[in-house]
């Protein structure tokens, strides 16, 4: 067709774009990428070329499921400070991580966290407004304290007993394969049901992932971890107002865990505040906090904090226990030594029928094995991200402009040779019995740091310190596939599978 306005530059432009649309779009993407790479004050920082142009590089690595190992390799190749996205810098040194986590320096959580549900009422983990996060956390500190958690010991022990009963079944035949990883996973979830709402999810009882609830959480976290790399995609996907009308995106029904949490809150609202039985659990304690300051800590906050505990605390605790066992059972000399220590404590009458938290603290080699597992395989596999304050700040002796995303990854930090020794890549629990152990401990980031330090660590350490020595005292474990590594992928947490063992009851723990 003939051009009706042959001299119009605008029209010529439009015809050109129509004719070469794909090339124009590609050209714009390239120009934008190059602009982001070279116009940025971060341009001098080494890193993969593509990563400095587009977040697509990180998106791809999160999609592949092994960000933690990718970032270990990345830092080996490019050094301790790497540009891992157009506006993001990843740090490998523990000293830099300390700078980033120091409270009061004005860092804030990045938009990565905003993608995690629930969008209408964020919990302590997902809240990105620092003032609101601090307010919520203030109300949750007492309910989450070690002394509050210790009051829940009876229900934790009830769950432990149920686990022991279930594991006992595998001792009947030396050929019976027990998926210890699954049982630890179900244990971690059931404990949280008890701790948060005084109800069991029934995973241990049924010996299965009831209603696929755990798989659902894994899938959701896979989405969160991935879309969190490019948060605006969240508007097109989960927040899309058209979602209910698009067949494959439809509205999913609430999970078993969400249903139970809602039901429990509703029951307590109906029955009033003097519901003696459940005063001690997390929801009961949070409701008490709400009653004292309803304007600052709403009912919705109670729900989101208690409900959020399940999501933040289950995979993380399970993953830590699975790593502990797999590392231990793959290192026979370490296994022998830790069992000998437990036997000695048992023989000296220092262990109760249900091992207590304090008793486990007096098992130095066990503690060393636990710290070493948390060091070499921390439960969070994705990067923890913070944004520098508007005026910019100093990290590890260099200045970074305001609004820069700073990323740290526990798997990378915990291999810092300057801190953990030249053999930092190697599993060696003995390092925690050496002179510099106290110093190393200050640089373990398995629970994050600063104002966002994991609020559930007391509960996690309570259940881990009770259960693991108990299992080692009662049973002898042997890996079914001693040469196979655990299979895992990082969504936010490191979700693991394949911890299959043969179990024998230790008739005489003194032996
Ligand atoms: C061994 C088990 C656990 C590990 C390794 C772990 C690890 C972490 C890490 C690394 C963070 C910081 C995340 C960040 O800054 O992006 C964190 C935060 C958090 N964790 Fe844990 N966690 C564990 C158990 C738990 C448990 C049992 C609960 C709850 C019952 C819990 C609740 C939370 C919450 C609410 C936050 C957000 C804290 C804040 O932003 O102030 N965690 N956890």
pLDDT digits (tens, 9 = 90+) for 215-262: 988 888 899 999 999 999 988 888 888 877 766 565 567 788 888 888
Full set of structural domains in the chain with CATH: 40-505 (1.10.630.10)
Q: Could you identify the atom of ligand 1 that is nearest to the CA of residue 320?
A: 1
Structure tokens at 431: 């390092």
pLDDT digits (tens, 9 = 90+) for 148-183: 999 999 999 999 999 999 999 999 998 999 999 999
Rounded to the nearest whole angstrom, what is the distance from the C-alpha of residue 125 to the centroid of ligand 1? Answer: 7
pLDDT at 275 over 80: no
Q: Which residues define the annotated binding site for heme?
A: 454
Rounded to the nearest whole angstrom, what is the distance from the C-alpha of residue 495 to the centroid of ligand 1? Answer: 15
What is the model's pTM? 0.93
The C-alpha atoms of residue 101 and residue 291 are separated, in whole angstroms, by: 32
Residue with tokens 């390092």: 431
Beta partners for 178?
Answer: 501
pLDDT average, residue stretch 254-276 = 77
DSSP 101-157: H-TTS--EE-GGGGGSSPTTS--TTT---HHHHHHHHHHHHTTTSHHHHHTTHHHHH
Strands 384-387 and 108-109, by their bridges, are: antiparallel
The C-alpha atoms of residue 315 and residue 188 are separated, in whole angstroms, by: 8
The verdict on the CB of residue 452 being under 6 Å from ligand 1 is yes
Rounded to the nearest whole angstrom, what is the distance from the C-alpha of residue 124 to the centroid of ligand 1? Answer: 9
Of 19-23, 53-57, 402-406, give the lowest mean pLDDT range: 19-23
pLDDT digits (tens, 9 = 90+) for 430-470: 999 999 999 999 999 999 999 999 999 999 999 999 999 99
Phi, then psi, of 465 in degrees rounded to 5: -70, -25
Rounded to the nearest whole angstrom, what is the distance from the C-alpha of residue 370 to the centroid of ligand 1? Answer: 17
Q: Kindly indicate the confidence band of residue 121, based on its pLDDT and cuts at 50, 70 and 90.
A: confident
Buried b (16+ CB within 10 A) or exposed e, 320-337: bbbbbbbbbbbbeebbeb
Residue of 188, 316, 386 with the most ligand 1 atoms within 8 Å of its CB, for mutation: 316
The C-alpha atoms of residue 348 and residue 161 are separated, in whole angstroms, by: 23
The verdict on the CB of residue 384 being under 6 Å from ligand 1 is yes
Tell me if 469 sits within 8 A of 355, measured CB to CB: yes
C-alpha separations of 500 from 101, 111, 171, 469 in Å: 37, 38, 14, 19
The verdict on the CB of residue 407 being under 6 Å from ligand 1 is no
Q: Which residue has the higher pLDDT, 307 or 330?
A: 330
C-alpha separations of 161 from 5, 166, 204, 412 in Å: 85, 9, 10, 37
């Amino acid at each position: 067709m003939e051009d009706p306005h042959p001299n119009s530059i605008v029209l010529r432009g439009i015809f050109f774009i129509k004719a070469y649309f794909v090339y124009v779009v590609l050209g714009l993407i390239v120009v934008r990428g190059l602009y982001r790479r070279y116009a940025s004050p971060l341009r001098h920082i080494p890193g993969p070329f593509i990563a400095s142009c587009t977040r697509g590089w990180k998106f791809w690595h999160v999609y592949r499921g092994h960000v933690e190992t990718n970032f270990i390799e990345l830092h080996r190749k490019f050094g301790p400070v790497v540009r891992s996205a157009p506006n993001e810098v990843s740090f490998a040194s523990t000293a830099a991580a300390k700078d980033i986590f120091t409270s009061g320096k004005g860092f804030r959580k990045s938009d990565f966290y905003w993608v995690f549900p629930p969008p209408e009422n964020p919990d302590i983990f997902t809240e990105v407004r620092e003032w609101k996060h601090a307010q919520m956390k203030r109300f949750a500190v007492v309910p989450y304290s070690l002394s509050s958690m210790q009051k829940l010991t009876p229900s934790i022990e009830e769950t432990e007993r149920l686990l022991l009963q279930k594991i006992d079944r595998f001792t009947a035949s030396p050929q019976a394969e027990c998926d210890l990883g699954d049982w630890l996973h179900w244990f971690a979830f059931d404990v949280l049901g008890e701790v948060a709402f005084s109800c069991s999810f029934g995973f241990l009882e049924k010996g299965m992932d009831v209603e696929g609830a755990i798989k659902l959480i894994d899938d959701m976290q896979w989405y969160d971890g991935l879309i969190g790399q490019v948060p605006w995609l969240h508007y097109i996907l989960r927040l899309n107002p058209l979602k209910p009308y698009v067949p494959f995106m439809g509205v999913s029904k609430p999970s078993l865990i969400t249903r139970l949490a809602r039901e429990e809150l509703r029951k307590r609202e109906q029955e009033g505040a003097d519901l003696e039985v459940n005063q001690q659990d997390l929801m009961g304690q949070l409701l008490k906090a709400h009653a004292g300051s309803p304007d600052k800590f709403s009912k919705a906050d109670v729900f989101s904090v208690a409900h959020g505990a399940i999501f933040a605390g289950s995979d993380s605790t399970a993953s830590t226990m699975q790593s502990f066992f797999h590392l231990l059972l793959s290192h026979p000399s370490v296994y022998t030594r830790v069992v000998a220590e437990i036997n000695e404590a048992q023989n000296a009458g220092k262990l109760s029928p249900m091992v207590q938290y304090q008793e486990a603290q007096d098992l130095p080699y066990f503690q060393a094995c636990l710290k070493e597992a948390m060091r070499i395989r921390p439960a969070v596999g994705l990067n923890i991200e913070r944004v520098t304050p508007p005026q910019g700040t100093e990290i590890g002796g260099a200045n970074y402009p305001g609004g820069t995303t700073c990323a740290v990854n526990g798997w990378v930090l915990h291999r810092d040779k300057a801190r953990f020794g030249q053999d930092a890549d190697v599993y060696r629990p003995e390092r925690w019995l050496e002179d510099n152990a106290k110093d190393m401990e200050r640089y373990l980031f398995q629970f994050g740091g600063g104002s966002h330090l994991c609020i559930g660590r007391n509960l996690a350490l309570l259940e881990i310190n009770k259960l693991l020595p108990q299992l080692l005292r009662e049973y002898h474990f042997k890996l079914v596939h001693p040469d196979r590594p655990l299979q895992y992928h990082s969504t936010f947490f490191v979700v693991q599978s394949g911890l299959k063992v043969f179990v024998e009851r230790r008739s005489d723990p003194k032996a």
